Amino acid sequence: MHPKILYVEDNSVIRERVAAHLRAEGFAVEECADAASARRAFAERDFALVLLDLMLPDGNGISLLRELRASLGGSVPVLIVSALGEIDERVSGLDAGANDYLAKPFSLRELSARVRAALRASSATKREEREPATLPRLGGGFLDRARACVVRDDGTEIPLSLRELFLLNRLAADAGLVVPLAELISAVWKTDSDKSISRSPVVFVSRLRRKLEGVCEIEAVRGVGYRLVPRFRG
């Protein structure tokens, strides 16, 4: 899904040119020409980022920025794009809660780079907020035992069966080290009477490898067991 941007700019020529460029870069853009329509859009839909002009026909962009920060906190990055480019104006915008400030005229390539940087920083912050330090990192994500899933760094979730969870949890406990096959069998198949014990752990390892592609690797050590490689080498 493409990150959705709210672009608030009253100059239709600039707005259409910038919006077309961002769409070509892979972003979804909703355009607003004034503060009132921006308020309605934000009340009805979720956005990953806001591009905000300061000189709007129905109010000052700084006031709108303060309203957004009051209702959303710091969860959505805001980039000011304005012809008001003096130091005092930049400082006022950043102090009001903007994450970045780009003065007009600006390069469309630079704008795209700043948008991507703001989205990366926002994604990292959200990941840190939802990822307790006690949950094992798996390279490109982390294992959430409570919800029986792996959460990728981009926020997508990979559901795990109960046995996959047991297996991955045991491997993650000694990430980087070889876990003997007997220990994996003990962790995943709890009792000798479990009929599933006749099924080789290879089946479950194979499933996990497919599910965790791009997150981490599980290596087989012939005649010994398996090892979780925390950093994916793809």
Q: What is the pLDDT of residue 100?
A: 93
Alpha-helix residue ranges (DSSP H) falling in 73-161? 87-95, 108-130
Compute the distance between CA of residue 57 and CA of residue 34 in angstroms, rounded to an integer: 6
Q: What is the pLDDT of residue 14?
A: 96
Compute the distance between CA of residue 127 and CA of residue 33 in angstroms, rounded to an integer: 33
Q: What is the pLDDT of residue 181?
A: 86
Environment class of residue 183 by beta-carbon count within 10 Å: exposed (0-12), middle (13-18) or buried (19+)? Answer: middle
58: left (phi over 0), alpha (psi -120 to 50) or beta: alpha
Provide the token pair at 32: 């607003």
Q: Give the orientation angle of helix 201-211 with respect to helix 181-188, to 10 degrees.
A: 80
Report which of 104, 52, 46, 55 is spatially closest to residue 79, judged by C-alpha positions.
52
Compute the distance between CA of residue 80 and CA of residue 60 in angstroms, rounded to an integer: 12
pTM higher than the cut 0.75: no
137 secondary structure, DSSP code: B
Q: What is the pLDDT of residue 110?
A: 95
Asked if residues 221 and 227 have their Cβ atoms less than 8 Å apart, the reply is yes
Q: What is the pLDDT of residue 28?
A: 95
pLDDT average per 10 residues of sequence, the chain (234 residues):
90 96 95 95 90 93 89 82 89 90 94 91 62 69 86 86 87 89 77 48 84 90 88 51
Report which of 81, 106, 104 is spatially closest to residue 93, judged by C-alpha positions.
81
Q: Give the orientation angle of helix 162-173 with respect to helix 201-211, to 10 degrees.
A: 80
Asked if residues 1 and 24 have their Cβ atoms less than 8 Å apart, the reply is no
Handedness of CA 7, 10, 11, 13 (dihedral sign): positive
Asked if residues 156 and 140 have their Cβ atoms less than 8 Å apart, the reply is no
2 secondary structure, DSSP code: P
